[in-house]
Amino acid sequence: MAVQNPLVIGTIPPIEVDIFQNPSAFFPTRAARESLQKNLLVEAFYLHYNQNDIYKRYCRSLGYGLQAAETDPYTIPLLPSTIFKKLKIRTLSGEATVKKCISSGTQGSISVIERDNTTLERFLGSVQNTSDNVYGTEDAVALNLGPGIEEAKDIWFSFVMSVTDVLYPTIDYVKNGVFNMAQLVNDINTFKSCYQDVFLIGAPPMFMEFYRYLNANHIKFDCGKQLFIVTGGGWKKQEAESINNNDFKDLTERIFPGIERSRIRDNFNAVELNTIIPECECGSKHLPVWADAFVYDLDTFTRSNEANQTGLLCFLDASPTSYPGFIMTEDLGQIIYIDDCPCGRPGKCIDVIRRVNTIESRGCALKIERDYLKQ
């Protein structure tokens, strides 16, 4: 059956109903989730196959077309995230680019993703959906251990950390490259009596710098039960100083006595991924209905949906319209739950283990670029 594009309810695409209006986008029933997800992925593939010459050429070189996607959208061809470091892969969505987003350059080079207005609005919608469905708090302030939107400019991670201002009053503590930790201490003590919840958000290295400052100055807090500690972005160029997530949570519990471990969260995102994947109170990262994930075995390069099998994390994200959101990342991970997370939310959950090294991750990407994307 031919796919109609776009599938709409009234004038609103179904994906936007789920991102902006559906209170249960992270935990619909399995049958409803799979049916809707397949439709959304086929719609997204239809757009990028027809409006992105590079992606269409790639798919054709694999013998993959619209009928294959309609039959099984979970076989949609993936783009390695490293390709965005080398090529401009822009879908002609009919909208202009409103934000050029760049990665932090973990491996010495940067990815560039162009987002149109629809893509960016859908990303912001995923942030709102995360807040509503996974954090469930309204009376809160966000203290960002990083720069604001203006100073962040096109660096995607810094932008992501700063967009909490669409949810809560937000204060940024890096200005002109300087991290004002003394002001952060003062504001934590001030806001604990003004808000029900106080969010501290930032990259793990920024928290580690703050924790060293607190220890060096013998600063203690008595507001642990009000805090949410939310990390994102990984260790980037501070990989040599990294500690695992459990050790970070142990340290945070010592720094903020009384904080519940369930309120120390690590959200996942990448510049190539247009959706925030939030960590729930049980430590699982939940996928919304408009995105799917699986792992790619590093030895066989076959896809697996089996729980607890380790491989490269791959995503089928239906939300971007300015580029294909069908991504093979450079992150090693697992599917850990499918409808059985202890938090009670159905759906698929992932665990991110570590960043893979250059040799592990680049072989497949280089082969795809050489054999398919430059023909």
Query: Is 110 in a helix, a strand, or coil?
Result: coil
| pLDDT classification of 167: cutoffs 50, 70, 90 | confident
pLDDT for 300 equals 80
Higher-pLDDT residue of 204, 367? 204
Average pLDDT of every residue of the chain: 86
Segment 234-246 mean pLDDT: 71
In a domain, 175, yes or no: yes
Query: In the listed set 239, 266, 293, which residue is the last one of a domain according to the structure?
Result: 266
Q: How many domains does the chain have?
A: 2
Whether 209 and 178 map to the same domain: the answer is: yes
Whether 194 and 292 map to the same domain: the answer is: no
pLDDT for 301 equals 77
Whether 299 and 262 map to the same domain: the answer is: no
Kindly list the distances between the CA atom of residue 220 and the CA atoms of 53, 180, 216, 246, 317, in Å, as whole numbers in the listed order: 57, 17, 11, 22, 42
Element containing residue 350 per DSSP (H, E):
strand 348-355
Query: In the listed set 198, 233, 266, which residue is the last one of a domain according to the structure?
Result: 266
Q: What is the pLDDT of residues 280-297, one digit of tens each?
A: 999 999 999 899 999 988
Cβ-proximal residues to 226 (8 Å cutoff; 6+ apart), any chain: 192, 195, 196, 197, 198
pLDDT for 49 equals 97
Whether 132 and 244 map to the same domain: the answer is: yes
CATH code at position 192:
3.40.50.980
pLDDT for 10 equals 40
Segment 165-178 mean pLDDT: 90
- pTM value is 0.87
Question: Does 97 score more than 80 pLDDT?
Answer: yes
Which domain range does residue 258 map to?
121-266
Whether 262 and 296 map to the same domain: the answer is: no
| pLDDT classification of 8: cutoffs 50, 70, 90 | very low
In a domain, 355, yes or no: yes
SS3 content of the chain, % helix, strand, coil (to 5): 40, 20, 40
Whether 172 and 257 map to the same domain: the answer is: yes
213-217, 260-264, 299-303, 346-350: least confidently modelled range: 299-303
Whether 79 and 127 map to the same domain: the answer is: no
Question: Does 342 score more than 80 pLDDT?
Answer: yes
CATH code at position 363:
2.30.38.10
Whether 140 and 262 map to the same domain: the answer is: yes
Percent of the chain with pLDDT over 90: 55
